[in-house]
Chains A and B, each alone.
Chain A
Amino acid sequence: MNSNTPNWPVLLETYLMTLNSKDFAKQWMFYRIMAFVVGTVLVVLSLFLISVRVIGNPEPAFYGAAWMAHGYLFPIYVVATFMLSTKLKWSFSKTILVMLAGTVPLMSFFTERRVAKEVVEFS
């Protein structure tokens, strides 16, 4: 190996060692909470969407506001995912996929379970 070539595994290990484990626990918890909140809100809204658009029931009074709330919760979920991705050194595409899981009903729950396994391995 060329002596000038960076030794990436060593670099990564060095970088990870500098991480504060308390920070990681907080970020992991932040992600889990946001995945649960966004997932729950999306499932409930999807049920109302079917009720309104497919069955033809009238829109509940909170319908527009609830979608708006999801619009604001999702960016927070994106932040939580991003912060976790920097700790776990995810690839760009994986980070984007986990972020997009917050837009598909139920998907954030499955994703959170998969990420939990990875966190256990990481710890």
Chain B
Amino acid sequence: MIRHFTARLIGTHFLGVFSLLACLALANWQWDRAHVYLPKIELAQKSFSELSPLRDYLPISSVGVSTQVTGTWQSSERIVLPNRIANGPGMANANSEQASTVDFGGPIGFWIVDILELADGSSLGVVRGFTENAELVPLATGSETISGVMQPGEDVPGLELANGINPLTTEMIVENSRTIAHDGYLIADSNSPGLIAVQPIFKEPPVQGLNWRNVAYTFNWIFFAVIVGLMWVRVAKDELQYAQLASITGDLSHDT
């Protein structure tokens, strides 16, 4: 009698199902990241909580949408981004195939990014403005209501900054925040003392189709899932073959 439910076989099935589901979940995740779905672009002002769900990526449909947010400045840390201009779109390198050195044709200075701690305990990176001398800008303190537009991290696929500018990423904001941080950042549209308001790079949700890299990773995981499935079948067949051999040999020894 062949034993179809040995501990090894049950373990193999468990591992096979788990690995297969993990591969498919990762493929689905990559597909979500690759596929930009824009049901309807609404640029009317929205509440911040509606625009930027905590513990999730900034929805593409929230990019460039006006909002207001109230919080207390975290006055201990600040991000100062050098080699920038006030005109955000002017920093984007339109043709990534060519050399990324661009003559900005205007004053080059710093973006000042302070961290605003919101009522729910989360942190939000706020680009307060542009200055040519960052040392003269005092740290933001106290509570304030800021209006502006949300932007994705500048390491978003498809965006390349000119002149080797270091991108402002969510990772940088997380590293400088004391609490859980929102993905992306807010560009304040009001003038702070000593600062010039920055023009956002994305004035509306970027319209794009599929990101080829994430699509390729999607198929990479599907490929892995197929391989996992084949290995699972092979191991299960081997286990059954062993069980069959054990059964035959057991019978023979019994006869002799």
* Interface residues of chain A: helix, strand, loop or mixed (majority): helix
Which A residues are CB-close (under 8 A) to B217?
Answer: 68, 71
Which A residues are CB-close (under 8 A) to B254?
Answer: 3-4
In the assembled complex, the Cα of A82 lies from the Cα of B242 at a distance in Å of 18
- Which partner residue on chain A sits nearest B238 by CB separation? A86
> Is the interface on chain B under 10, 10 to 19, 20 to 34, or 35 or more residues?
20 to 34
Is B250 a contact partner of A71 (Cβ separation < 8 A)? no
Task: Say whether B223 faces chain A, with CB atoms less than 8 Å apart.
Answer: yes
Is A15 a contact partner of B213 (Cβ separation < 8 A)? no
Task: Say whether B22 faces chain A, with CB atoms less than 8 Å apart.
Answer: no
Is B246 a contact partner of A11 (Cβ separation < 8 A)? yes
Q: Contact mask B21-51 → A, CB, 8 Å, 1/0?
A: 0000000000000000000000000000000
In the assembled complex, the Cα of A82 lies from the Cα of B245 at a distance in Å of 22
A4, A5, A64, A75 — which one has the most chain B CB atoms within 10 A of its CB? A75
In the assembled complex, the Cα of A93 lies from the Cα of B245 at a distance in Å of 24
In the assembled complex, the Cα of A120 lies from the Cα of B34 at a distance in Å of 47
Is B223 a contact partner of A72 (Cβ separation < 8 A)? yes
Task: Say whether B249 faces chain A, with CB atoms less than 8 Å apart.
Answer: yes
**Which residue of B227, B235, B242 contacts A79 across the interface (Cβ within 8 Å)?**
B227
Is B234 a contact partner of A86 (Cβ separation < 8 A)? yes
Task: Say whether A84 faces chain B, with CB atoms less than 8 Å apart.
Answer: no
Is A6 a contact partner of B213 (Cβ separation < 8 A)? no
In the assembled complex, the Cα of A86 lies from the Cα of B232 at a distance in Å of 12
In the assembled complex, the Cα of A77 lies from the Cα of B67 at a distance in Å of 50
**Which residue of A14, A58, A68, A78 contacts B216 across the interface (Cβ within 8 Å)?**
A68
User: With A68-B220, A71-B217, A72-B223 given, is the CB distance from A11 to B164 under 8 Å?
Assistant: no
User: With A11-B242, A72-B223, A75-B227 given, is the CB distance from A4 to B250 under 8 Å?
Assistant: yes
Task: Say whether B95 faces chain A, with CB atoms less than 8 Å apart.
Answer: no
A interface with B by C-beta (< 8 Å): 3-7, 10-11, 14-15, 58, 64, 68, 71-72, 75, 78-79, 82, 86
Would you mind naming 28 contact pairs between A and B with Cβ atoms under 8 Å apart? A3-B250, A3-B254, A4-B253, A4-B254, A5-B250, A6-B245, A6-B250, A7-B249, A7-B253, A10-B249, A11-B242, A11-B245, A11-B246, A11-B249, A14-B245, A14-B249, A68-B216, A68-B220, A71-B217, A71-B220, A72-B220, A75-B220, A75-B223, A78-B227, A79-B227, A79-B230, A79-B231, A86-B238
